[in-house]
């Protein structure tokens, strides 16, 4: 069965950086476009960034362009999100999934940006 395990979150000050990881199993990872999503307190889950299966073409929500970088390692069935210049509005639980949200959600990893 599909399993998605997010890690790397934590508490950082505004302007700081974090690198999130997503470990995937239970499906042929390299065939699928993947994405990061987040859910801020009191809000619905939203799409943040996406990356295609083989070419690693990327796309980002406007609010994170120039600050976040999505990447993947198909040999490790892993995906990453490098987050720089973090802002308080980036606070939330971050999740990974296919770009169609087709797998069961993992537990997510909490990112808190606060001074």
Per-residue pLDDT tens digits for 84-93: 999 999 999 9
**DSSP-assigned beta bridge partners for residue 11:** 112
CA 81 – CA 13 distance, rounded (Å): 18
What ranges make up the beta strands (E) of the chain? 3-7, 10-12, 18-25, 34-39, 46-51, 58-60, 68-73, 78-83, 92-98, 109-113
Q: Whose CA is closest to 53, among 103, 98, 83, 22?
A: 98
CA 45 – CA 36 distance, rounded (Å): 10
C-beta atoms surrounding 48 within 10 Å: 22
Per-residue pLDDT tens digits for 67-80: 999 999 999 999 99
Contact 6, 96 (CB under 8 A): yes
Per-residue pLDDT tens digits for 5-57: 999 999 999 999 999 999 999 999 999 999 999 999 999 999 999 999 988 99
Instruction: Return the residue matching tokens 């390692």.
Output: 73
């Amino acid at each position: 069965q599909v399993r998605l395990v997010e890690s790397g979150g934590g508490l950082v000050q505004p302007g700081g950086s974090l690198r999130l990881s997503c470990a995937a199993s239970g499906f042929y990872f390299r065939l699928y476009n993947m994405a990061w999503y987040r859910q801020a307190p009191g809000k619905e889950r939203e799409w943040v960034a996406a990356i295609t299966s083989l070419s690693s073409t990327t796309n980002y929500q406007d609010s994170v362009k120039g600050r976040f970088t999505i990447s993947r390692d198909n040999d490790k069935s892993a995906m990453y999100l490098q987050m720089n210049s973090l802002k308080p509005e980036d606070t939330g639980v971050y999740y990974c999934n296919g770009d169609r949200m087709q797998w069961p959600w993992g537990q997510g990893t909490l990112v808190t940006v606060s001074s």
